[in-house]
Amino acid sequence: MKRYAVTLESVGNPDFGQNPNQPLWGCEPNQLKQIDTIEEASKACQQFIHNNDLGGGNWSGGQLMDNQLGKQIGQISYNGRVWDMNPDWQKRKELP
């Protein structure tokens, strides 16, 4: 069993008249990808963004789950950086 899972998801950007409640039309389906390391998770997110030509307003994935703990442990932003889950987003720290 893989240690981590990461969501790879897109949404429409309302700034461009796209439906924010639906995946971006023409993209790969939204998915949960099983991976071994946090670095792999970041790379998988960046590849999904690149493959689907997503802008920042289209990226809705990046939830990093620890399969052993059974909970979300981080969030991967559009630029591939990985953040902890501090409820105060202004105090979040980047994970290694």
DSSP letter for each residue of 23-42: PPTTSPPPEEEEESSHHHHH
5-33: pLDDT as tens digits: 999 999 999 999 999 999 999 999 999 99
Average pLDDT rounded to a whole number, residues 57-65: 98
pLDDT higher than 90, residue 1: no
Q: What's phi and psi for 49, nearest 5 deg?
A: -60, -45
What does pLDDT average to over the chain?
A: 95
Please state whether the predicted TM-score (pTM) of the whole model is above 0.85. Answer: yes
Q: What is the dihedral of CA 68, 69, 71, 74, to 10 degrees?
A: -90
